[in-house]
Structure 1
Amino acid sequence: MTTVVPLAVRAEPATAFQPARWSRPTELLIGQGAAREAVRQARSDGTTVLVTDTSLPEGLVDRLVGPAGKRLRRLGLHPGSITLASSGEIADSLGDVRHVVAIGGGSVLDAAAVARAILSRPELSTLIRRPTMPGLILCPPGRRPVPRFTAVPTTVGTAAEVSSLATVLACDRRKLVTGDALTPGTAALDPAATAGLPRRLLLEGVLEAMMRLLNICALPPVGQCPGASDAELLTLLAQLGRSGAEAANARYDVPAPLRIDIALLSARTVLGWTALGRDPFGGKIWYLSNELSTLAGVRKMTATVSVAPVVWSRLLAGDTRFGDPARLHTAWQALWRALGPMRLPTDPVAGFRALVAAWDVPALRKTEAPPPQELAWRTAQAWGGSQPMLGAFSAAELTALYREIIDQPRPRRSQL
């Protein structure tokens, strides 16, 4: 039985609210052999292309797709060099293709998703490259028919396999593209796809999924936010915490059933109704981390674990632009109880830093950081001004925020 943990009291509506909306089009194939079945389904549509991550262990893709998949045409991408041009090249090669199957981490799945969107709306590529365009690009409904899209993730945490959002690097800026054309029609969660994922990266993925929920939960509800939304959010957070702790404590390799549980929980952070009744632009941590990651040239979660403690410190000190202190405390308590044996601090900021250290997720080194003024300027251009993401922050405030992020002590790393 699910217990609904009360969060902050909701204000009574002053006017009639629009109804909350929820719709998810992705079919999930879950378990051993899911990738092979996904490829079989794709081939039944007609001409099929595999978009693959060239950094994957040798032979992994062949094992995932089976004998029939070995004969399919492949387009290889290296995660470290993916840009908008990569998606454009994929789009150019999809003329007679009926189905695209992408196998890889979040950046490879995103590249395939953006390629499909470009095929649907060719002008999208020009919009993304335009320097005056903000950080968020809305992709309208397509004008052209596009191939069906199946995603086979080889990592956990990004939830790119079920998302209508994708990030793309263009002109040294990482932009966020959203639209129905980016959403995979099928996602195959196969334990064989994550068999070679190092434990540290698996835990980093768990933390990424948990951060998505913590970011949402800290936001005060807007419109009609059903209690089931909060209940699912807190339940998912606790389940991710327990699964992460089990993975961290696994004596040998993380077992396949646990990896499937983690992959499914990660997907549910997007598939479920946790975001119902939330401000879609309220998660400030992502926008700040996106610019820090891009300019510093560090991993997304390295930036995220550096930004979150500073943002939460300000939130807990009363800066409501970052969220509701009571809601953050409630969310952290749910996670803290799930991680009980770790004996983390009950304070969200101290507890998060301790968790980051325990799971060995690297934070930003001061020597890696760009000047805070440059970070602030880039962030204001992408997400500030009249935009709802960070428009409430002045350039001086953003500069001070980044300076604090850069100057904070790094969590001490520990051996699992």
Structure 2
Amino acid sequence: MTQSTQCLTRTLFGCDGLATWLARGSRTRVTLLIDPGVLGSEIVARVRRQVAKAERGEQLVVLSGPGTLLGVLELAERLTGAELVVGVGGGSLLDQAKLLALLHGRPSARARLTVPQRSGMLVLPPGTERALGLVAVPTTLGTGAELSTAACLEYPQGKRLIAGECLRPDIAVLDPVATDTLPPELVSEAVLEALFRLVSMYAGDHADLPTEDALTEALAVRLVSAGHAVRRAREAGTPVERPLRAEIAKLSGLTHQEWLHLGRGAWANKGWLIANEVSVALGVRKMRAVAAVLPPLWRAIAGGDERLGSARRLARLWSSLRAVDPDGLPGDPAGGMAALIDSWRVERRLTPDDHTDDDTGDDVLDAIAGRIVRAWGAGLPMLGGLTRDEVRELLTEVLRTPEATRC
């Protein structure tokens, strides 16, 4: 039976209900895709016990490294006899699990993913169906990959975003045991990632939508409150407890829900496009790039660049977020977000020196601006008409010289 492209993901809070769900279905062969970093962990043991309890056969596959086009294509060919994929790992592994479930036994899907194009985004046509069932068990926080309809994949020309309803998992298992060993600094980054995803759609669009706005504002306030709670735990040298991590996982997943963004422009989150290319070009973690991009992006929006977003809506949103910590955060949205990121101890300072080649700072800025415009602009709609020079100007605020960084 093929997977419906319109079904919503069912969320299980803990692993206990997984065996019941597996036993009710007709699929008897389960392929476990495991991140090597969690192979001997309690969450993997729990998932395997559920598979055994449901009396399903198990094939264990350990994936290492970032997902690449070639790697996913080769593994899809090797997974003979698979009926259901259970991915246990971080966002990259879950993205690979999604694409393997799509590609297995589907030449048409393979052709779609390998068609030459310069765009950084590949949209799967409506009606595209997955070949396999899919269960996602995240072992990190922030990406919300277990509830999203998108996946990132490394192509020879760079990272590409693949989107389609068929990439939405059947089941998402949110178990705080899965993040027991997650370093506290990565929990802070996770909250920022979810907040960035949420507020970028809100501030990047000009339309006032009362219901969607109210829901987004409430969720953003909850995320900021959670981020401050993580900060307090880190300052006290105490663990980020399971209930708080469970709440962050729930909030992160909610940021992907379509009802938050009904009526929004498809390309409202231009910050993600820019941060993605900065991350790849400099070889730094995605959230370090996001943290560097967000304050300059907000400064440009507040300065009146309507292609990037609405200054009025940004001010309204920041007023709500600042109210969570009015004494510690400035009233200016860009300065306030920079202060919030710093208070959460997320590194946001990038310089051209982070580039590993011998290029000068100007060369690095030119190269990254070129990457961004090639993948998302120059006739493509994502950048809203921003030119290479305009993108480069924004990057001068994102990538500071060492002297400016120290000031």
TM-score range, shorter chain: 0.7 to 0.9
Could you report, residue by residue, the CA deviation over 1:266-303 in whole angstroms, capped at 9, with x for unpaired residues?
11111252211110112110000111111111111111
Instruction: Classify 1:57/1:97 alpha carbon distance in 2 versus 1 (closer, same or farther; 3 Å).
Output: closer
The equivalent residue for 1:299 is 285
The equivalent residue for 2:260 is 274
Which of residues 185, 210, 213 is equivalent to 1:230? Answer: 213
Shift of 1:57: 6.7
Instruction: Classify 1:248/1:145 alpha carbon distance in 2 versus 1 (closer, same or farther; 3 Å).
Output: closer
Q: Contact 1:217 / 1:327 at 8 angstroms: preserved in 2?
A: yes
Shift of 1:147: 1.3
**What does residue range 256-267 of structure 1 map to in structure 2 within 5 Å?**
256-267=242-253
Secondary structure of the 1:229 match is helix
Q: Contact 1:239 / 1:338 at 8 angstroms: preserved in 2?
A: no
Q: Measure, in 2, the Cα distance between the counterparts of 1:145 and 1:283.
A: 27
Q: How many residues align?
A: 383
The equivalent residue for 1:385 is 378
Matched, 1:64 2:64: no
The equivalent residue for 2:62 is 76
Instruction: Classify 1:62/1:95 alpha carbon distance in 2 versus 1 (closer, same or farther; 3 Å).
Output: same
Shift of 1:123: 4.1
Could you report, residue by residue, the CA deviation over 1:189-224 in whole angstroms, capped at 9, with x for unpaired residues?
1111111111110110001111111101103345xx
Q: Measure, in 2, the Cα distance between the counterparts of 1:315 and 1:112.
A: 37
Q: Measure, in 1, the Cα distance between the counterparts of 2:350 and 2:177.
A: 34
Q: Contact 1:128 / 1:170 at 8 angstroms: preserved in 2?
A: no
Secondary structure of the 2:38 match is coil
Could you report, residue by residue, the CA deviation over 1:339-393 in whole angstroms, capped at 9, with x for unpaired residues?
346x111211111111221212122431114711111111111101221111501
Could you report, residue by residue, the CA deviation over 1:78-126 in whole angstroms, capped at 9, with x for unpaired residues?
2x43212232233223432221111111111111112222237434445
Instruction: Classify 1:68/1:159 alpha carbon distance in 2 versus 1 (closer, same or farther; 3 Å).
Output: closer
Matched, 1:110 2:95: yes
Q: Measure, in 2, the Cα distance between the counterparts of 1:289 and 1:111.
A: 21
**What does residue range 4-403 of structure 1 map to in structure 2 within 5 Å?**
25-30=8-13, 34-38=14-18, 41-42=21-22, 45-56=27-38, 58-69=40-51, 72-78=58-64, 80-119=65-104, 121-141=106-126, 146-222=131-207, 226-250=209-233, 251=236, 252-271=238-257, 273-340=259-326, 343-366=328-351, 367-369=353-355, 371-403=364-396
TM-score w.r.t. the length of structure 1 is 0.85
Instruction: Classify 1:267/1:411 alpha carbon distance in 2 versus 1 (closer, same or farther; 3 Å).
Output: farther
| 281-290 or 141-150, larger mean C-alpha shift | 141-150
Q: Contact 2:226 / 2:248 at 8 angstroms: preserved in 1?
A: yes
Q: Contact 2:87 / 2:137 at 8 angstroms: preserved in 1?
A: yes
Give the partner amino acid of 2:228: A
Q: Contact 1:166 / 1:178 at 8 angstroms: preserved in 2?
A: yes
Q: Measure, in 1, the Cα distance between the counterparts of 2:105 and 2:312.
A: 44
Q: Measure, in 1, the Cα distance between the counterparts of 2:387 and 2:79.
A: 44
Shift of 1:40: 5.3
Q: Contact 1:100 / 1:148 at 8 angstroms: preserved in 2?
A: yes
Q: Contact 2:204 / 2:270 at 8 angstroms: preserved in 1?
A: no
Instruction: Classify 1:405/1:145 alpha carbon distance in 2 versus 1 (closer, same or farther; 3 Å).
Output: closer
Instruction: Classify 1:120/1:206 alpha carbon distance in 2 versus 1 (closer, same or farther; 3 Å).
Output: farther
Shift of 1:128: 3.8
Q: Contact 1:102 / 1:108 at 8 angstroms: preserved in 2?
A: yes
Instruction: Classify 1:276/1:411 alpha carbon distance in 2 versus 1 (closer, same or farther; 3 Å).
Output: farther
Q: Measure, in 1, the Cα distance between the counterparts of 2:392 and 2:7.
A: 38
Q: Structure 1, unaligned stretches of length 5 or more?
A: 1-22
Q: Measure, in 1, the Cα distance between the counterparts of 2:76 and 2:180.
A: 30
Q: Contact 1:238 / 1:335 at 8 angstroms: preserved in 2?
A: yes
Q: Measure, in 2, the Cα distance between the counterparts of 1:55 and 1:141.
A: 35
Q: Contact 1:42 / 1:99 at 8 angstroms: preserved in 2?
A: no
Instruction: Classify 1:155/1:85 alpha carbon distance in 2 versus 1 (closer, same or farther; 3 Å).
Output: same
Instruction: Classify 1:402/1:126 alpha carbon distance in 2 versus 1 (closer, same or farther; 3 Å).
Output: farther
Q: Measure, in 2, the Cα distance between the counterparts of 1:144 and 1:278.
A: 26
Instruction: Classify 1:346/1:143 alpha carbon distance in 2 versus 1 (closer, same or farther; 3 Å).
Output: closer
Q: Contact 1:35 / 1:152 at 8 angstroms: preserved in 2?
A: no
Q: Structure 2, unaligned stretches of length 5 or more?
A: 1-5, 356-362
Q: Measure, in 1, the Cα distance between the counterparts of 2:179 and 2:96.
A: 20
Secondary structure of the 1:345 match is coil
Secondary structure of the 2:313 match is helix
Secondary structure of the 1:152 match is strand
Instruction: Classify 1:211/1:144 alpha carbon distance in 2 versus 1 (closer, same or farther; 3 Å).
Output: closer
